[in-house]
Amino acid sequence: MTAAPETSLLREGVQRDAVTWYCYLLLGYFTYLVSIQGNILPFLQAELGLGYGAVSLHTSAIAVGIISIGLVGDRIVRRYGRRRMLLVGAIGAAAAAVLLVLAPAAWASIGSCVLFGLLGAFIPAIVPAVFTDLFGERHDIAITESNAVAYGFAVMAPLIAGASAALGLSWRTIPLAGVVMGVVIVAAFFGRAIPENPRPKESAATRLTPAFWAYWAVLGCAVAVEFSVLLWAPAYLERVVGLSPSGAALGAGAFFAAMLIGRAVGITLIRAFDGRRIFLAVAATTLVGFAAYWGSSVPAIVLVGLFVVGLGVSLLFPLTLGFAIGAAGAAADRASARVMLAPGLAILLNPPLLGAIADSVGLRLAQLTMPVFLILAVIAFAVAEMLARRAHSASSS
């Protein structure tokens, strides 16, 4: 088990050089392109005359691409290098967005989403490993900061969509804005040296530890909790709480605002406190928020609960990602790729699972999947900590 950094080191933070900012911005650019799906799919559905089943395949296509990179991405990166594959990820994601804009039919738009997942996912599959080599035990700070930056990009998606609608611009403006972001970022940092894996042979020969896979399970559950809110909060506020459609859409923004605030504040928390204590605290915060969100019929209390849920959920992903990469040791490149399987599977499986439960027992009871996933995350976390301690004891003896 990698020892937790001392508080003094955490307070020092990380030195944000050009490579760090390149990684931060690339991750934000990728997150923006993922986040625009909800803003553009209704327009795509109307323009191409698609049914709901065909529309849902776009998100599934992205997930299939992400899962593929999670399975084999580390081998490709080991062969061609991090710098080259980050460029492939950035340029490939932009090309996929352009193809989506030009798509004349569903086969082309779905194919562009597969391409986006296959190429764009190299960015989040490489960046955590780069942080590990740059910052060592302080990689959790860089991961949290990068996720805060990424969520800032995600918030731009509805803002750009709203501005485009207000100005009478086509929905194509939304993905093309992402293309411009990618081109500017690549141009600004083109030629910048990216640290390659200093121990490629050792990394290839090192197996991922049981503790890593336990943290991986935590990560999957954390993403499932987040998606449970993202997918169903607007409908829950409208159909169960009784808000108007516009009020429900506005109210759901409480979750996004809390996520952004939580990740920004989380940077300071992780510098000052041990990440494992923070994890347990934010898990408890999420449960408290859910109790208000689900247990009340008063709109004001429900919205406050949703905001508290967002504060708690905001740090689950970056914290767990840091734990998993730290538990991987010399196999950081492989771990950085494999962790992509967790969000990929969540994106692929969570929507149909929650939809089936809602159809069976109703939307209100379906929301109970949130605390179930959260409790499973805490159980997996406890198992991961136990496995990590055993591995540390074995290596010390």
- In this prediction, residue 334 carries a pLDDT of 86
In a domain, 11, yes or no: no
Which phi and psi angles does 315 have, rounded to 5°?
A: -100, -5
Greatest mean pLDDT among 45-54, 317-326, 354-363: 317-326
Mean pLDDT of the chain: 86
More confident residue, 22 or 246: 22
Mean pLDDT for 165-177 is: 90
Based on the fold, state whether residues 40 and 175 are members of the same structural domain. yes
Based on the fold, state whether residues 165 and 263 are members of the same structural domain. no
Give the CA radius of gyration of the chain: 20
In a domain, 8, yes or no: no
Mean pLDDT for 305-316 is: 94
- In this prediction, residue 205 carries a pLDDT of 59
Instruction: Please state which of the ranges 211-215, 233-237, 283-287, 338-342 shows the lowest mean pLDDT.
Output: 233-237
Domain boundary among 198, 220, 237: 198
Based on the fold, state whether residues 192 and 203 are members of the same structural domain. no
Q: By residue range, what is the domain housing residue 161?
A: 16-198
Buried/exposed code over 318-347 (b: 16+ C-beta within 10 A; e: otherwise): bbbbbbbbbbbbbbbbbbbbbbbbbbbbbb
- How far apart, in Å, are the Cα atoms of 349 and each of 61, 102, 206, 236, 342? 12, 28, 30, 20, 11
3-state secondary structure (DSSP) of residue 394: helix
- In this prediction, residue 1 carries a pLDDT of 36
Based on the fold, state whether residues 53 and 116 are members of the same structural domain. yes
Structure tokens at 316: 């689950």
CATH number at residue 246: 1.20.1250.20
Write the DSSP assignment of 342-385 as a string of letters. Answer: HHHHHHHHHHHHHHHHHHHH-HHHHTTHHHHHHHHHHHHHHHHH
Domain boundary among 198, 217, 251: 198
Mean pLDDT for 223-233 is: 84
Based on the fold, state whether residues 222 and 270 are members of the same structural domain. yes
Based on the fold, state whether residues 297 and 364 are members of the same structural domain. yes
Residues 6+ apart with CB under 8 A from 288: 308, 312
Based on the fold, state whether residues 252 and 165 are members of the same structural domain. no
Residue 7, CB-side half-sphere exposure with 13 Å CA sphere: 5
pLDDT tens-place string over residues 246-283: 788 778 888 888 988 998 888 888 888 888 999 999 99
How far is it, in rounded angstroms, from Cα 202 to Cα 331? 8
Q: How many CB atoms lie within 10 A of CB 262?
A: 24
Based on the fold, state whether residues 238 and 316 are members of the same structural domain. yes
Domain boundary among 175, 198, 221: 198
- In this prediction, residue 9 carries a pLDDT of 36
Based on the fold, state whether residues 127 and 254 are members of the same structural domain. no
Mean pLDDT for 285-292 is: 96
Contact 247, 370 (CB under 8 A): no
Which phi and psi angles does 274 have, rounded to 5°?
A: -65, 135
H helix or E strand, kind and range, residue 61: helix 52-80
Based on the fold, state whether residues 255 and 244 are members of the same structural domain. yes
Based on the fold, state whether residues 226 and 340 are members of the same structural domain. yes
pLDDT bucket at 206, cuts 50 / 70 / 90: confident
Share of the chain above pLDDT 70, in %: 93
Based on the fold, state whether residues 203 and 193 are members of the same structural domain. no
In a domain, 10, yes or no: no
How far is it, in rounded angstroms, from Cα 193 to Cα 212? 29
More confident residue, 353 or 183: 183
Work out how many domains the chain is built from and give that number: 2
In a domain, 129, yes or no: yes
In a domain, 106, yes or no: yes
- In this prediction, residue 54 carries a pLDDT of 78
More confident residue, 58 or 184: 184
Write the DSSP assignment of 219-245 as a string of letters. Answer: HHHHHHHHHHHHHHHHHHIIIII---H
